[in-house]
């Protein structure tokens, strides 16, 4: 987890970036990673996802996730700021954590793709913020993202068999 050097009226911004090669064309990868209903499969701290648009994500659409651990559950709101299926999305998260999640799916040869996520986040102070910061330190934010992207790869590749 890299700390960016400056503070702007609040917590420092951290950035995590992970990428992986997937044995599937970009359209197949996109169908899996662009569906928020899959989130609980990739991250054990995501308990539920709701209000996902039936016709898929579009610029301006929103949904929520319920994140829990250590006896605390919080709702995180998500809003699609930009999207270009099956290539790119940028989603802003707000609530106890402020973040921007950017996803790229690029061709990487014949029937292969490169899946990449970048997460820039700030964890505000206060009791919930302190708990989230402790959780990120304890479980390792980069490790959580790495596990998630590997789970996405498995889901895509198993669906192709």
- Bridge partners, residue 46, by sequence: 67
User: What is the pLDDT tens value at each position of the chain, 161 positions in all?
Assistant: 444 444 445 555 678 899 999 999 999 999 999 999 999 999 888 899 999 999 899 999 999 999 877 777 889 999 999 999 999 999 999 987 788 999 999 999 889 999 999 998 876 666 666 666 666 666 667 788 899 999 999 999 998 65
Residues 103-127 as b/e (b if ≥16 CB within 10 A, e otherwise) read: bbbeebeeeebbbbbbbebbbeeee
pLDDT at 67: 84
pLDDT at 133: 63
Strand ranges across the sheet with 98-107:
2-3, 14-22, 113-122, 98-107, 88-94, 72-84, 62-69, 46-50
18 vs 56: CA distance, rounded Å: 24
Q: In the chain, at which residue ranges do the beta strands (DSSP E only) sit? A: 2-3, 14-22, 46-50, 62-69, 72-84, 88-94, 98-107, 113-122
Quick count: other Cβ atoms within 10 Å of Cβ 34? 18
pLDDT at 31: 94
pLDDT at 130: 63
pLDDT at 1: 41
pLDDT at 4: 42
Helices within 7-140 (DSSP H only):
26-33, 39-42, 126-139
Residues 81-99 as b/e (b if ≥16 CB within 10 A, e otherwise) read: eebeebeebbbebebbbbb
What is the reported pTM? 0.82
The token duo for 44 is 């054990």
Q: What is the CATH number of domain 2-159?
A: 3.30.530.20
Q: Domain residue spans in the chain?
A: 2-159
């Amino acid at each position: 987890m890299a700390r960016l050097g400056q503070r702007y009226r609040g917590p420092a911004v951290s950035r995590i970036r992970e990428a992986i090669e997937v044995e599937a064309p970009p359209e197949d990868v996109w169908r899996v990673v662009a569906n928020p209903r899959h989130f609980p499969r990739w991250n054990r701290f995501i308990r539920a996802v709701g209000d996902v648009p039936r016709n898929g994500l579009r610029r301006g659409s929103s949904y929520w996730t319920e994140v829990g651990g250590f006896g605390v559950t919080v709702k995180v709101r998500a809003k699609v700021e930009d999207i270009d299926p099956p290539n790119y999305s940028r989603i802003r998260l707000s609530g106890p954590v402020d973040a921007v999640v950017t996803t790229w799916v690029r061709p990487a040869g014949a029937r292969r793709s490169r899946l990449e996520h970048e997460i820039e986040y700030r964890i505000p102070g206060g009791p919930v913020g302190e708990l989230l910061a402790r959780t990120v330190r304890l479980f390792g934010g980069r490790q959580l993202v790495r596990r998630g992207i590997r789970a996405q790869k498995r889901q895509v590749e198993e669906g192709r068999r």
